[in-house]
Amino acid sequence: MTLDARAPTGPIEARWNEARFKSKLVNPANRRKYKVIVVGSGLAGGAAAATLGELGYNVSCFCYQDSPRRAHSIAAQGGINAAKNYQNDGDSVYRLFYDTVKGGDFRARESNVYRLAELSVNIIDQCVAQGVPFAREYSGLLGNRSFGGAQVARTFYARGQTGQQLLLGAYQSLAKQIEAKTVKMHPRTEMLDLITVDGVARGIVTRNLVTGKIEAHTADVVVLCSGGYGNVFYLSTNAKGCNTTATWRSHRRGAYFANPCFTQIHPTCIPQSGDYQSKLTLMSESLRNDGRVWVPKNAADCTKDPKSIPEADRDYYLERLYPSFGNLVPRDIASRRAKDMCDQGKGVGPEVGGVRRGVYLDFGDAVKRLGRDTVAERYDNLFQMYERITGENPYEVPMRMYPAIHYTMGGLWVDYHLQSTITGLFVGGEANFSDHGANRLGASALMQGLADGYFVLPVTVPNYLAGVKPGGIDDSHPDVRRTVSEVEARIKQLLTIGGKRTPESYHRELGTLMWDNCGMGRTAAGLKVALGKIPELREQFYSDLSIVGSGEELNGMLEKAGRVADFFELAELTCIDALAREESAGGHFREEHQTEEGEAKRNDDSFSYVAAWEFSGATNAPKLNKEPLNFEYVHPSQRSYK
Amino acid sequence: MARLMNLVLNVWRQKSPKEPGGFVRYEAKAINDHMSFLEMLDVVNEDLAQKGEAPIAFDHDCREGICGACGMVINGAPHGPAKSTTTCQLHMRSFNDGDEITIEPWRAAAFPVLRDLVVDRTAFDRVIQAGGYISVRAGAAPEANSLPVPKLASDEAFEAAACIGCGACVAACPNASAALFTAAKISHLALLPQGAPERADRVRKMVAQMDAEGFGHCSSHKECEAACPKDISISFIAKMNRELLSAMAAAPNQVKGREKG
């Protein structure tokens, strides 16, 4: 199959306008006849469901949480980028576009990225109108800060709770549409499969997480905004419930999975404290604006009280290695350098598995320079969170940080319209692969989720609907019934294995395998080890899994087992993709491919493409399809943040 | 350095909304003080599962104190003994070796128990649906800086908007009142100029919905403020009452009850 990105040509600044103008429209009186399913209620899904509801479509929205307000977008701390140029510091739509393509290490589609930058300004207008309490200056005008990888201050923020406030804005718009009955909300309901009829997406099969009831929901279009797959690593900054089931099951039904190996490590997370650890907590990288990263120059100092280590014995390694960006280098570089320092034995904090994995993030100078009040104004809630988790006070003792899996740039392949390779299946937000290339810049995830939800999908989904007749199938359709019975059979299979190990224990083991072999630094040898072990572990899972209880009740173990089963398959594809991509780009660092200074070395001649994997059956190797990337505006160069 | 402790847990177990529940005693051994409270429960649950017993069901998701999913009454206090802290952010260093800990779900008629420590909080969603929003359709928004908002008003709105909708305020209140939750949203939007056009209608509808859901009245016990993990101030309840009074004075005949959704 040839991948047609359907990206308009012509001057880049005119492309989105042109696409909107060419979009077909649905008569307002006919809109309620079209049934739209939105899976996920985070920034992309919540905004898309609310906006399509406003337009008059008959929307059903699904989330596994007890309320749409709890989707994991809520945990984003730092901010959202927009090319408003309120600071008059040289920002523009073009610059945001340029920075995002470059920051993504030239592995994103230019047309999509430009549209994202263009829409960023509308997002801020929309959120402010909804009552999102962004930080303001005493003038009453909006405040900005600068964020990892950018030399302009274009990030809008609401203390350290930007994601929460943006999500509440989308949730409130969604609530209004629920009240108006244009949206029917299905909380505590998990999508377990995609229904396709003649290759076209026509609905989903869900499980009610309270009663266990399996149901089919048919529709004229399905929109997945179900988030990323970072939990394939077990320990990540994702919420415990985040999973790949919606995207993976759609992949199995024909949606290509693109660039799964592009996973992002966030440089500033609270280090693991023991082997019982259930998740890792991110500390906003806005902390790097004022905090200074260092490790002791001498390994012997690593166990000492940091305050007793004199300035001369501290290595502010980011400032040393990258004088122009200093502590604000992009995430992948900051992460890799932290790993290097710890691998060299300079890590600090508790030993877990024989290694100290932590670097200091020190606010001592910031408190001296700005005063404690200003530091508190900017970071107090983050400091409190840190203290609750570690028992240490960052005003007194430097924070300890270590990188953790945070975001996945890969996802279902989509064209410019955000439609997957399955007709009628659209994918928004982190669930798609589209805008960040190999690495996402800070404060760009919220921007992409909301751009897709408020502005892109509400144009492209109606354009699709205008070309199809509403309705035509119901629950009695043979393809619907077949999909329902397949879901029921899968649940029965998991419940009847009758083995000894819990789904949690398999997830943990899979995660460790992935982190060790497909984490911050990858090698062909390590990836092959993982590719040997994952099928063995999966086989064990299907022969020795234990689930207590039945399918007809609230059963957390059953939910987990289904998600872990899909993570196994995704893990394998991720390693296959990482092995096939013989270059380093952004979050994908192949140790065989680095410069003499240890920087990521791309191979533009051979790998300037999107790897879109096609499912070819559970026992067959996936098939690679390539979407070549053409750079007409931002010409690939080696990133340099020196 | 890590401290290990042995604990006794008395946990509310209830198989479904219709079946009666009761306390069951469990021993939690060698619990590390750096664990979060939920990680301690994870350890207990893995043990139960190994023995073929149903794990304790509890809501949780982000485990960073922001999604509002988790919440249990720990030794009589919603979210437990640490101030300004959700259950997921409570760490075992707040406890000592040999402690006996009682763990219960939120108790309120408007929050029926679904299983063990999991309750149905959709009543909160219906309160927001009644009017907890500004009606701006995507695309209709004016330029963001065209309406300056005084920093102090914006900051105060933020304080109210910080609510995570966990329900601890209801669980803490002897009347199971949702006044703090409802007041926080009403105040957030009333403090901003963007929220002004719908201000009177919003407070009328949201308060009516709050009553229709079966939450009790606020009689100023202030337990909600003490239990709130986000330190939402009860001064917002006073603000809600003022908002309601002025809305009633403006249009007295528009105040009426709503059906439970």
Query: How is chain B split into domains, by residue range?
Result: 4-115, 122-254
- ipTM score assigned to the predicted complex: 0.97
CB contact under 8 A, A51 and B43: no
Once rounded to an integer, what is the mean pLDDT over residues B127-141? 97
Q: Which helix (H) or strand (E) holds B118?
A: strand B118-119
Q: Are residues A484 and A589 in the same domain?
A: yes
Go through A137-161 and write b for each residue having 16 or more CB atoms within 10 A of its CB, e for each that does not: eeebbbbbbbbbbbebbbbbbbbbb
Q: How confident is the model at residue B261 (pLDDT cuts 50, 70, 90)?
A: very low
At A148 the pLDDT is: 64
For residue A621, give the DSSP letter.
P
Minimal CA separation from B114 to chain A, in Å: 7
Weakly modelled stretches of chain A, pLDDT under 50: none
- Chain-chain contact of A239 with B138 (C-beta, under 8 angstroms): no
CA geometry: angle at A35 spanning A113 and A470, to 5°?
105
Contacts of A141 in chain B (CB under 8 A): 145, 148
Q: Same domain, yes or no, for A374 and A498?
A: no
Contacts of B136 in chain A (CB under 8 A): 126, 129-130, 173
Structural domain boundaries enclosing A577: 478-604
Give the nearest partner residue to A554 out of B57, B132, B149, using CB atoms.
Answer: B57
Residues of A in contact with B81 (CB under 8 A): none
Of the partner residues A47, A74, A139, the one whose CB lies closest to the CB of residue B62: A74
A521 within domain boundaries: yes
pLDDT in tens, A76-134: 988 999 999 999 999 999 999 999 999 899 999 999 999 999 999 999 999 999 999 99
- Domain assignment present for residue A81? The answer is no
pLDDT at site A274: 84
- Is there a domain that residue A290 lies in? yes
Q: Give yes or no for B84 touching A (CB within 8 A).
A: yes
Domain tally, chain A: 2
Asked if the structure places residue A295 within a domain, the reply is yes
Task: List the one residue out of A339, A446, A409 whose CA is nearest residue A103.
Answer: A409
Place of tokens 């957390």: A556
- B233-243 mean pLDDT: 98
pTM listed for this prediction:
0.96
Closest Cβ–Cβ partner in A136, A385, A458 for B138: A458
The CA angle B193-B198-B200, to the nearest 5 degrees, is 105
Chain A hits for B140, CB-CB cut-off 8 Å, are: 129
Where among A404, A432, A454 does a domain terminate?
Answer: A404
Same domain, A487 and A395: no
**pLDDT tier at B247 (50, 70, 90 boundaries)?**
very high
CA distance B139 to chain A (A): 7
Q: Superfamily for B4-115?
A: Beta-grasp domain (3.10.20.30)
What are the pLDDT digits (tens) for A531-569? 999 999 999 999 999 999 999 999 999 999 999 999 999
Instruction: For an interface test with B, give the residue of A139, A157, A272, A278 to mutate (most B CBs within 10 A).
Output: A278
DSSP code, position B216 = B
Residue with tokens 């403090």: B191
Nearest CA distance, A529 vs chain B (angstrom):
28
Burial of B174 (0-12, 13-18, 19+ CB in 10 A): exposed
- Chain B segment 158-187 residues within 8 A of A by beta carbon are 158, 161-162, 164-165
CA distance B115 to chain A (A): 7
Alpha-carbon span A585 to A598, nearest angstrom: 13
CATH number of the structural domain spanning residue A548: 1.20.58.100
CATH of the structural domain B122-254, one choice from 1.10.1060.10, 3.40.30.10, 2.30.30.40, 1.10.10.2840: 1.10.1060.10
Q: CA torsion A560→A38→A15→A144, rounded to 10°?
A: -70
Contact B136 A549 (CB under 8 A): no
What is the DSSP secondary-structure string of A528-553? HHHHHHHHHHHHHHHHHB---S-SSS
Give contacts of B36 with chain A, Cβ < 8 Å.
Answer: 278, 389
β-sheet bridge partners, residue B24: B11
CB contact under 8 A, B122 and A66: yes
- Burial readout A464-499 (b: 16 or more C-beta within 10 A, e: otherwise): bbeeeebeebeeebebbeebbeebeebbeebbebee
Decide which of A388, A404, A420 is a domain's last residue: A404
The CA distance from A279 to the nearest CA of chain B, in Å, is 8
B118 and chain A in contact, CB less than 8 A: yes
Same fold, B4-115 and B122-254: no
| Strand (E) or helix (H) holding A257 | strand A257-258
Q: How far is A133 from chain B (nearest CA, A)?
A: 6
Q: Chain A residues with CB inside 8 Å of B164's CB? A: 164
Distance, CA of A182 to CA of A54 (rounded, Å): 7
B232 touches chain A (CB under 8 A): no
- Residue A376: both structure tokens together: 């508190």
Please give, rounded to a whole number of angstroms, the shortest distance from the CA of B100 to a CA of chain A. Answer: 21
Q: What tokens does A249 get?
A: 């099951």
Contacts of A154 (CB under 8 A, 6+ apart): A81, A82, A83, A84, A85, A87, A91, A96, A144, A146, A147
8 Å CB contact of A129 and B192: no
Distance in angstroms (rounded) separating the CA atoms of residues A308 and A314: 11
Site from B46, B61, B143, B154 to mutate, A interface, most A CB atoms within 10 angstroms = B61
- Give the pLDDT band (50/70/90) at residue B250: confident
| Yes or no, beta carbons of A553 and B161 under 8 Å apart | no
Residues 133-152 of B with CB under 8 A from A: 133-145, 147-151
d(C-alpha B218, C-alpha A581), whole Å: 62
Instruction: Summarize pLDDT for B215-225 with one digit per residue, the tens.
Output: 999 999 999 99
